[in-house]
């Protein structure tokens, strides 16, 4: 919700300039955070074991990936609205999937 | 897993993310970086020699690449070069026998337009300049400052090349950047003064230079190409709103140009779309017309004064610092 609110406020002051990266940044924490956590919580609530382990460090790696993906989308959106480019944006594109994959592997190994 | 790692990892990750994001923002908007031109600093061919080679290379009987004047226009008087020519100069007019600039205003689409009609006796008088005479990122200056430093009679903001890492950049015969921007049109000012608009996907920067390009700008799109409007209702820069302050350059005939700037984002001047801009340029008789950076960058400088009302937000007025200009001068 915070990402969506930020995107709406940013677009409001952007003189009508729109960026899909900015508007869809909220999907990162929603799809990669809220949905998996909800599924795992429901499985545990009904006494079923989640498919992955529940290691704290693996969770942290996954959260890091989500944070980098979300922040990368927001920064790319700001660049789109300003009309500029920066190759450093690839840093987010590298770190985010690496952390997400590391988190998945960590969960599998802990299980 | 070690408890200290579990304790410190979130903090380290958060600091790393914040630091990286701050660095990306500083690098994008604040930190000045001088870039090296791809083509090196030395120009091997002067503009006169390049224009002469264009005339030699032109095959006999082939179609003249220079735009032909609009047949509906009355004949424009051509300034004749002379030894001692009296300079006539005021807020709306300049003439010295080699350069003639006439400033006029118009009102269309609920927007104020400022039109600079330029006739020169030599292509040497249409030039470009970089802010602080330096090629790089975040190296910016007001259009008026760069113009006065270069003794410009007339100037408009350029293509703001420094905001992007791609797009052709050729200035005064020097190749600075040859990487293309996908889907973008480039404007080549050839050594003989003619304007040529190309699709960067179809024509490389080197090919443009081989054609005799002396300056190449990359923003676009092309508004009028070979006498025909080349934008449609849905074409806009990225996802920008349709109505904006705009800057455009056009050619009516050999060594006859128009520089047009319009206001926008205010209650007095709404701003225009690219299609409206193209229609306006064609109505002036342009056979080639090209859109330059607009919005808060749009600035028209003439004889030491800013003619339009530059604004980024429609509330505060003043020039935006830009990376380059196109100007008329010696």
Alpha-carbon distance values, B316 to A15, B30, B101, B157, B233 (Å): 14, 21, 29, 19, 30
Contacts of B328 (CB under 8 A, 6+ apart): B99, B101, B118, B120, B125, B126, B127, B152, B153, B154, B155
Q: So what's the pLDDT on residue B133?
A: 96
B40-60 tens-digit pLDDT: 655 566 787 778 777 665 544
From B90, B238, B215, select the one nearest B158 (Cα to Cα). Answer: B215
Q: To probe the interface with B, which of A17, A61, A73, A103 has the most B CB atoms within 10 Å? A: A17
Find tokens 């599924």 and name the residue: A39
* CB spacing of A57 vs B9 below 8 angstroms: yes
Apex CA B157: angle with CA B162 and CA B132, to 5°? 55
At B138, the pLDDT band (50, 70, 90 cuts) reads very high
Q: So what's the pLDDT on residue B1?
A: 56
Residue B188: inside a domain: yes
| Residue A91 with chain B: CB contacts under 8 Å | 20, 24
* CB spacing of A17 vs B238 below 8 angstroms: yes
Does residue B230 or residue B6 have the better pLDDT? B230
Residue B239 has pLDDT above 50, yes or no: no
Mean pLDDT, chain B, whole residue set: 87
Contacts of B13 (CB under 8 A, 6+ apart): A60, A64, A67
Residue B19: inside a domain: no
Which chain A residue lies closest to B9 (C-alpha atoms)? Answer: A60
**Which domain, by its residues, includes B199?**
32-329
Residue B131: inside a domain: yes
Does residue A23 or residue A75 have the better pLDDT? A75
Q: What is the largest CA-CA distance in chain A?
A: 52
> Lowest-pLDDT range, B27-31, B59-63, B103-107?
B59-63
Q: So what's the pLDDT on residue A22?
A: 72
From B252, B227, B248, select the one nearest B75 (Cα to Cα). Answer: B252
Please give the average per-residue pLDDT across A64-79, as a whole number.
91
Residue B120 has pLDDT above 60, yes or no: yes
Does residue A48 or residue B65 have the better pLDDT? A48
Q: Please indicate if any CB of chain A lies within 8 Å of the CB of B27.
A: yes
Residue B137: inside a domain: yes
Instruction: Classify residue A104 by its DSSP letter.
Output: H
Residue B117 has pLDDT above 60, yes or no: yes
Q: Please indicate if any CB of chain B lies within 8 Å of the CB of A82.
A: yes
High-pLDDT (> 70) share of chain A, %: 65
Please give the average per-residue pLDDT across A64-77, as a whole number.
92
Q: So what's the pLDDT on residue B314?
A: 86
Residue B241 has pLDDT above 70, yes or no: no
Please give the average per-residue pLDDT across B176-193, as a whole number.
95
At B301, the pLDDT band (50, 70, 90 cuts) reads very high
A18-57 tens-digit pLDDT: 677 777 777 777 777 777 777 766 766 776 655 545 577 8
Q: Is the ipTM of this complex over 0.85?
A: no
Chain A nearest C-alpha distance from B194 (Å):
29
From B134, B163, B106, select the one nearest B277 (Cα to Cα). Answer: B106
* CB spacing of B166 vs A87 below 8 angstroms: no
Chain A nearest C-alpha distance from B271 (Å):
12
Instruction: Please tell me which of the candidates A20, A64, A86 has its beta carbon nearest to residue B24.
Output: A86
Residue B304 has pLDDT above 90, yes or no: yes
Number of Cβ within a 10 Å radius of residue A83:
17
- List all residues of chain B from 81 to 110 with a beta carbon under 8 Å from chain A: none
Q: Please indicate if any CB of chain A lies within 8 Å of the CB of B210.
A: no
Residue B11: inside a domain: no
Q: Cα separation of A95 and A64, whole Å?
A: 9
The first and second tokens of residue B29, run together, are 């908007």
At B235, the pLDDT band (50, 70, 90 cuts) reads low
Give me the total of CB pairs closer than 8 Å, taking one residue from chain A and one from chain B: 73
- List all residues of chain A from 23 to 52 with a beta carbon under 8 Å from chain B: none
Apex CA B43: angle with CA B42 and CA B47, to 5°? 160
Residue B88 has pLDDT above 60, yes or no: yes
Q: So what's the pLDDT on residue B3?
A: 72
Residue B232: inside a domain: yes
Does residue B101 or residue B312 have the better pLDDT? B101
Q: What pairing do the DSSP bridges indicate for beta strands B99-108 and B93-95?
A: antiparallel
Q: So what's the pLDDT on residue A55?
A: 72
Residue B24: inside a domain: no
Find tokens 């113009």 and name the residue: B147
| Residue A67 with chain B: CB contacts under 8 Å | 13-14, 17
Please give the average per-residue pLDDT across B120-130, as a whole number.
97
Q: To probe the interface with B, which of A58, A82, A84 has the most B CB atoms within 10 Å? A: A84
Q: So what's the pLDDT on residue A2?
A: 62
Does residue A32 or residue B8 have the better pLDDT? B8
For chain B, how many structural domains are there in total? 1
Residue B184 has pLDDT above 80, yes or no: yes
Residue A89 has pLDDT above 60, yes or no: yes
If you compute the radius of gyration of chain A from its CA atoms, what whole number of angstroms results?
16
Instruction: Please tell me which of the candidates B165, B242, B244 has its beta carbon nearest to residue A85.
Output: B165
At B86, the pLDDT band (50, 70, 90 cuts) reads confident
């Amino acid at each position: 919700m915070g990402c969506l609110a930020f995107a709406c406020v940013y677009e409001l002051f952007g003189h009508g300039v729109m960026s899909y990266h900015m508007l869809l940044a909220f999907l990162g924490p929603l799809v990669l955070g809220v949905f998996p956590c909800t599924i795992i919580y429901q499985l545990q609530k009904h006494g079923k074991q989640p498919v992955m382990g529940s290691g704290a460090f693996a969770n942290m790696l996954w959260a890091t990936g989500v944070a980098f993906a979300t922040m990368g989308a927001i920064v790319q959106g700001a660049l789109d609205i300003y009309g500029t480019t920066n190759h450093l944006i690839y840093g987010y594109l590298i770190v985010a999937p690496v952390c997400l994959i590391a988190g998945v592997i960590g969960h599998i190994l802990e299980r | 897993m070690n408890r200290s790692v579990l304790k410190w990892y979130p903090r380290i990750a958060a600091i790393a993310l914040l630091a990286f994001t701050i660095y990306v923002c500083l690098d994008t908007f604040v930190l000045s970086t001088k870039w090296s031109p791809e083509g090196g600093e030395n120009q091997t061919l002067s503009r006169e020699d390049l224009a002469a080679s264009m005339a030699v290379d032109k095959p006999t009987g082939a179609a003249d690449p220079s735009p032909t004047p609009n047949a509906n226009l009355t004949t424009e008087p051509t300034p004749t070069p002379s030894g001692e020519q009296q300079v006539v100069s005021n807020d709306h007019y300049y003439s010295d026998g080699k350069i003639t600039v006439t400033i006029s205003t118009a009102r269309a689409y609920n927007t104020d337009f400022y039109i600079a009609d330029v006739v020169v006796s030599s292509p040497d008088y249409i030039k470009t300049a970089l802010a602080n005479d330096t090629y790089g990122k975040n190296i910016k200056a007001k259009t008026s400052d760069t113009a006065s430093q270069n003794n410009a009679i007339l100037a408009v903001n350029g293509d703001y090349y420094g905001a992007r890492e791609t797009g052709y950049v050729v200035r005064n015969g020097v190749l600075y950047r040859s990487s293309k921007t996908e889907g973008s049109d480039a404007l080549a000012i050839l050594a003989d003064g003619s304007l040529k608009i190309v699709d960067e996907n179809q024509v490389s920067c080197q090919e443009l230079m081989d054609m005799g390009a002396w300056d190449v700008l990359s923003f676009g799109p092309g508004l009028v190409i070979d006498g025909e409007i080349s934008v449609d209702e849905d074409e806009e820069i990225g996802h920008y709103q349709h109505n904006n302050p705009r800057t455009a350059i056009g050619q009516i005939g050999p060594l006859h140009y128009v520089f047009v700037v319009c206001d926008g984002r205010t209650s007095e001047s709404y701003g225009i779309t690219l299609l409206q801009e193209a229609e306006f340029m064609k109505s002036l008789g342009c056979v080639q017309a090209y859109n330059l950076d607009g919005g808060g960058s749009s600035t028209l400088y003439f004889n030491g004064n800013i003619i339009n009302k530059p604004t980024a937000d429609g509330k505060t007025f003043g020039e935006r610092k830009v990376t380059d200009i196109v100007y008329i001068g010696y």
